[in-house]
Structure 1
Amino acid sequence: MAKRNRQSFLEGSFILIAGVIIVKIIGALFKIPLTDIISADGMGYFSSAYVVFNLIQTVAIAGFPVAISKMVAENVVLHRYRDVKRIYRVSFRVFLVTGLAGTVLMLAISPLAVSVMKNPGALYSMLAMAPAVFFICMMSVNRGYYQGLSNMVPTVISQVIEALTKLILGLLFSSLVMQIGMQQYADTGVVFGTQVATEELAKQATYPYAAAAAIFAVMLGSAFGTFYLFIRRRLGGDGISKEEIRQSPAPMPQKVILKSLLAIAVPVALGAVTNQLTAVIDTFSIQSIVAHISQSSPDVLMGMYGHLLPEGYTAENLNNFLYGCYTGLAVTMFNLVPTITTSIGVSAIPAVTSSWTKRDAVGTKKNVEAALRITAIIGIPAGLGMSVLAGPIMSLLFHNANEVAIATPLLTMLGLGVILLTQVGPINSMLQAVGKASTVLKLLVVSAILKLLCNVIFISIPSVNILGAPIGTIVSYLFMVIAGLIVLCRTTKVRPRFGRVFFRPFVAGLFTAATGYLVNSLLARFISSKVAVLVAIAAALFVYVVTLFAFRVVTLEDIRKLPKGEKIAKALAKRGWIR
């Protein structure tokens, strides 16, 4: 039996963050070239399918990964290892059923979904994505189990396998389909059964199929990640020894375990579904409202975007193109940082659960403060920097200048939302860890309502249109952060040191953003804009690291808890950079 590989909260966070950074780099290497291959139009189909998939897989998973992690962590603390094993078996059976049901559901509702969002070209992508619901469910039971054991390594490896698969196969499949479509046009003038008159129209006819090919690779990535986790558990086990099993008390009945899992999972699931509603609200409201504006005020839309559209586009087919610019470019950048900080929340669940179960008030405060502070350290400078360098960053990564021009003001506003969203995930995870999953649900419902109201109000203004989407995002997440913090502090009796947790990272973030903006503005006058923004980002990162130490945002205790932290801490302390 292999030795159980456990990490502390900060070690687990570090491993998950490192993994997410790797996955996000791979994801950027996938999505940025994919946007060039299938354009914003194809990304509209791709993103529409992803939103429907995320909603259904969230329902299918039903909050069980969090429930598994929480219950496994609790029973490990109590040395009830037979219960730990039984929790896995019960969860596996549940996921087997819900995964199959979720796949069937996505296949069934896809035609209705594309009809409501007025985007029929997304149907092929939705159908290609449907099997991924099953594989994600199978992965989630193993990820939740290992995370409950405070072992984040299997989760990270499975994520990397997923990302590499979609990178390699996704770009390959989508490129092949585009080549086939354009070859059909050159040979016959008919592309996948549709007669087209120009090369641009041939591309537009091919995009739905190329997007579906890329989505199919994403589905294969989830399948390969699932196979890895099952093989790993079969060959390597979980580190729980036979002696620990023998000394463990008799396990609870399966019905009791299932009831306990459901008690935790259902509120979490409802909250997760509600959280997904933000993306669903954007997908359906943006496309349907813009489609309405294109009929009622076509002159306004064409006046704003006409000079930026590909040949053959009119106001009538703007909804998918603008949505593709928003999700394929702006939201892609927006989601980079919050995905990293979500890992902090995942790692915080077993840590906060353990200290909360032991009634360790000091430990609970340390874990809560650590999660909030690390999140702020990452989220604040990234969000501010993203706002002030939105245009240069997007021009560096994406090659279509017209699409970048549409997406830049969207990302400028979303950068402020990054700061808020990075805090939402860890706060919600800690609320769930201390038994406030139902409260998270209530907060998410209110947040979704605020998002919908803002979208309806602002996007419906013809001169604002899609620029109203980031406004709703900021308003909804601001509510989540403020309300969630109030509930968390009241429940845990923790009073975070807001100066150290938020204010110092914010001041350091201001220095970072200002440095990036000034360096880029100065250098762009004399050298290539791409080189200028790279130098500006490097300068901003250097200034941020310096300010972190200058304002004592990072402590020796933080450094020591990282892998190889003792050596790093000694080196920094020796130079007087930290104390």
Structure 2
Amino acid sequence: MRKPSLIRQTAVRLGAITLTKSIGLLGRVVLTRMIGAEGIGLFQMAYAYFGFVLMLITNGFPTVLAIYTAGKKKMAWRWFIRLSLWILSGGIIAFILTLTFAEEISHVLGNTNSYYFLRALAPALVIVPLLALFRGYLQGLEKYEAIAFSEIAEQFVRVTVMLALCIFLLPQGDMFAGGISMLGTSLGGITAFLILLVLYTRNSASSTYKETMPVPSKGEMSWFVRSSIAICLTRLLIPLSDMADALIIPARLQQAGYSSNEATAMFGVLTGMALLIAYMPTLATAALSHTMTMKLVSAWKEQQYNLFQNLSLKTVRFAWSWGIISTLFLSVYAEELAFFLFHSTEAGRLIKSLSLIPFIVGVREITTSILWAKEQKKITFAATAIGIFFAICCHYFLIPLPYMQLYGAVAGILLMELIVLLSNICALGSLLCKKRIGKMIASALFIISVGIPLGFVIRACSLNLSPGTLGGVLGMLIYGGVLLLIHVWMNQRTSTSA
């Protein structure tokens, strides 16, 4: 029964994530056309601040609660109530501080127009952390259908309200309309929370977990705090990196000679257009990782090591297969996608430079889930910290150089993701070195992590010409051939090892 359940749960998560992200993508495209590149740059700056503060409030508790609930469902309800009070208090404090100091924060971000975006996002700091904690609890109970429905409803309400407000307020100015439109985030979060609450209270099976239970022991409380801090430190690095990007990239672009408005617009092209498209294919691996984490945790705790290894192998193989297909697609059709969605040829060139993202990030997400299921969280934390350090160095030193600018930022992003991936690969190789299947996984991942960048370099060096020329076609064939050979080799090796 495990396989059909896993397939169904993964399909539900994949369908929900695909639909919500598609709605979000549509909303982002329409919003970008209404408020322009500078407006979407301010949008990204405000969300970078929002994500950073949100992570400080939640502190990794939703993920820890999901893991805890998967093993101890009856005790988890008490933890949900306790954590809700802590997170609600933190959200209210963050809301008040953001409203009070929105003008000062906008000056720190380097563009005073971000003031409207920050104030409109402030109410979401109260509801979204609670929503994340509730979803973590339901994830541990494997209520994926309820989570999926709430995500779709949240995104639909958020985008609908955002676009409606923007259209209505557009005569008062692009920046004002774009900023106030972010109230849709709060309304979407409230809608999703109410939906989850109704679905949960109607479920008679779930209500049995709320009966009188023994008070959690001090040992459990200690584990909870340690695990949440470890996950928070790991996950805080990504919002911290986004915040650093919002501060450093526009500032260094101004150092290169661009005005504040031009730098903000270029930042919007990179983060609001190119990265949005480059990361879209990772929705599939994110959905699989979301459902697989609980399965891996249960298998590891129950000492079902063969099941753990088989599940790990299947997810890794899916990640690299999907990553290779997505990388090739973005490499070929990047400029067409950018022109169709944003009417921006500059975004197309950036997407092509970021075409390795689906593979690197997809495999990185899956390998991180495997390590976390084995409670090996320090490895990912250290690798992410090192990767962010090198990315910031690239942003700071490469962006002001002639002919680099945004490509310096692209180099930093790719380097950060690749460092984390290689660290995960090394960790999996050492943790599973006694198992032949583990050696095959580590060997295959190492080869592909080296081979795909090599193929990318071959393609880049072979084609300084457009894809329609003979040189462009030859370069694409070389690039595709490298990816295909690596893919066939890995599937053969892992199949024989299984």
Does TM, normalized by the shorter one, top 0.5?
yes
Aligned equivalent of 2:354: 414
Paired residue type of 2:331:
S
Does 2:251 correspond to 1:288?
Answer: yes
- Secondary structure at the aligned position of 1:120 is classed as coil
Does 2:311 correspond to 1:367?
Answer: yes
Which whole-Å deviations, capped at 9, do the CAs of 1:364-422 have from their partners, x for residues lacking one?
11122222222223222112311221101111222x3xxx1221221111111232122
Moved over 6 A (4+): 499-507, 551-555
- Report the alpha carbon displacement of residue 39 of structure 1 after superposing the two structures with TM: 0.9
Provide the C-alpha distance between the structure 1 equivalents of 2:146 and 2:179, rounded to a whole number of angstroms: 29
Matches within 5 A, 1:250-265: 251-253=214-216, 256-265=219-228
**Cα distance change of structure 1 residues 217 and 241 upon mapping to structure 2, 3 Å threshold:** closer
Aligned equivalent of 2:26: 29
Please tell me whether the aligned partners of residues 443 and 483 of structure 1 are also in contact (alpha carbons under 8 angstroms). Answer: yes
Paired residue type of 2:378:
S
Paired residue type of 1:210:
A
Please tell me whether the aligned partners of residues 41 and 272 of structure 2 are also in contact (alpha carbons under 8 angstroms). Answer: yes
Does 2:204 correspond to 1:221?
Answer: no
Paired residue type of 2:274:
A
Please tell me whether the aligned partners of residues 330 and 407 of structure 1 are also in contact (alpha carbons under 8 angstroms). Answer: yes
- Secondary structure at the aligned position of 1:464 is classed as coil
- Report the alpha carbon displacement of residue 281 of structure 1 after superposing the two structures with TM: 2.2
Match of 1:433 among 346, 349, 373: 373
Please tell me whether the aligned partners of residues 174 and 211 of structure 1 are also in contact (alpha carbons under 8 angstroms). Answer: yes
Matches within 5 A, 1:87-486: 87-108=79-100, 110-178=102-170, 180-181=171-172, 206-237=173-204, 239=206, 241=208, 251-253=214-216, 256-294=219-257, 315-398=259-342, 400=343, 404-486=344-426
Paired residues, number: 467
- Report the alpha carbon displacement of residue 124 of structure 1 after superposing the two structures with TM: 0.8
Please tell me whether the aligned partners of residues 6 and 149 of structure 1 are also in contact (alpha carbons under 8 angstroms). Answer: no
Provide the C-alpha distance between the structure 1 equivalents of 2:182 and 2:311, rounded to a whole number of angstroms: 38
Consecutive unaligned residues of structure 1, counting only runs of 5 or more, are 182-205, 299-314, 525-539, 556-579
Provide the C-alpha distance between the structure 2 equivalents of 1:369 and 1:391, rounded to a whole number of angstroms: 34
Provide the C-alpha distance between the structure 1 equivalents of 2:3 and 2:127, rounded to a whole number of angstroms: 26
- Secondary structure at the aligned position of 2:335 is classed as helix
- Secondary structure at the aligned position of 1:368 is classed as helix
- Report the alpha carbon displacement of residue 285 of structure 1 after superposing the two structures with TM: 0.9
Provide the C-alpha distance between the structure 1 equivalents of 2:245 and 2:205, rounded to a whole number of angstroms: 41
- Report the alpha carbon displacement of residue 252 of structure 1 after superposing the two structures with TM: 4.5
**Cα distance change of structure 1 residues 436 and 135 upon mapping to structure 2, 3 Å threshold:** same
Consecutive unaligned residues of structure 2, counting only runs of 5 or more, are 470-479
Higher mean C-alpha deviation, range 464-473 or range 431-440: 431-440
**Cα distance change of structure 1 residues 151 and 378 upon mapping to structure 2, 3 Å threshold:** farther
Paired residue type of 1:53:
F
Please tell me whether the aligned partners of residues 12 and 148 of structure 2 are also in contact (alpha carbons under 8 angstroms). Answer: yes
- Report the alpha carbon displacement of residue 254 of structure 1 after superposing the two structures with TM: 6.2
Paired residue type of 1:482:
L
Which whole-Å deviations, capped at 9, do the CAs of 1:96-133 have from their partners, x for residues lacking one?
22322332343355433322231111111011111112
Provide the C-alpha distance between the structure 2 equivalents of 1:349 and 1:478, rounded to a whole number of angstroms: 22
Which whole-Å deviations, capped at 9, do the CAs of 1:539-579 have from their partners, x for residues lacking one?
x9xxx9xx99xx78999xxxxxxxxxxxxxxxxxxxxxxxx
Please tell me whether the aligned partners of residues 12 and 151 of structure 1 are also in contact (alpha carbons under 8 angstroms). Answer: no
Provide the C-alpha distance between the structure 1 equivalents of 2:146 and 2:105, rounded to a whole number of angstroms: 35
Please tell me whether the aligned partners of residues 417 and 473 of structure 1 are also in contact (alpha carbons under 8 angstroms). Answer: no
TM-score of the aligned structures, taking structure 2 as reference length: 0.84
Please tell me whether the aligned partners of residues 504 and 553 of structure 1 are also in contact (alpha carbons under 8 angstroms). Answer: no
RMSD, aligned α-carbons = 3.4
Which whole-Å deviations, capped at 9, do the CAs of 1:526-546 have from their partners, x for residues lacking one?
xxxxxxxxxxxxxx9xxx9xx
- Report the alpha carbon displacement of residue 238 of structure 1 after superposing the two structures with TM: 5.2
Matches within 5 A, 1:5-44: 8-44=5-41
- Report the alpha carbon displacement of residue 218 of structure 1 after superposing the two structures with TM: 2.2
Aligned equivalent of 1:188: none
Provide the C-alpha distance between the structure 2 equivalents of 1:207 and 1:475, rounded to a whole number of angstroms: 35
- Report the alpha carbon displacement of residue 166 of structure 1 after superposing the two structures with TM: 2.0
- Report the alpha carbon displacement of residue 463 of structure 1 after superposing the two structures with TM: 2.3
Please tell me whether the aligned partners of residues 339 and 348 of structure 2 are also in contact (alpha carbons under 8 angstroms). Answer: no
Please tell me whether the aligned partners of residues 432 and 439 of structure 2 are also in contact (alpha carbons under 8 angstroms). Answer: no
**Cα distance change of structure 1 residues 287 and 91 upon mapping to structure 2, 3 Å threshold:** same
Provide the C-alpha distance between the structure 2 equivalents of 1:108 and 1:427, rounded to a whole number of angstroms: 42
Paired residue type of 1:141:
L
- Secondary structure at the aligned position of 1:415 is classed as coil
Aligned equivalent of 1:304: none
Provide the C-alpha distance between the structure 1 equivalents of 2:493 and 2:33, rounded to a whole number of angstroms: 40
Provide the C-alpha distance between the structure 1 equivalents of 2:102 and 2:439, rounded to a whole number of angstroms: 46
**Cα distance change of structure 1 residues 471 and 504 upon mapping to structure 2, 3 Å threshold:** closer
**Cα distance change of structure 1 residues 240 and 440 upon mapping to structure 2, 3 Å threshold:** farther
Which whole-Å deviations, capped at 9, do the CAs of 1:213-252 have from their partners, x for residues lacking one?
321112211121111112222222553657x979xxx634
**Cα distance change of structure 1 residues 443 and 158 upon mapping to structure 2, 3 Å threshold:** same
- Secondary structure at the aligned position of 2:22 is classed as helix
Aligned equivalent of 2:57: 60
- Report the alpha carbon displacement of residue 7 of structure 1 after superposing the two structures with TM: 7.9
Aligned equivalent of 2:475: none
Provide the C-alpha distance between the structure 1 equivalents of 2:336 and 2:417, rounded to a whole number of angstroms: 26
Paired residue type of 1:221:
G
Please tell me whether the aligned partners of residues 365 and 496 of structure 1 are also in contact (alpha carbons under 8 angstroms). Answer: no
Provide the C-alpha distance between the structure 2 equivalents of 1:102 and 1:237, rounded to a whole number of angstroms: 35
**Cα distance change of structure 1 residues 68 and 331 upon mapping to structure 2, 3 Å threshold:** same
In our comparison, the structure showing a higher alpha carbon Rg is 1
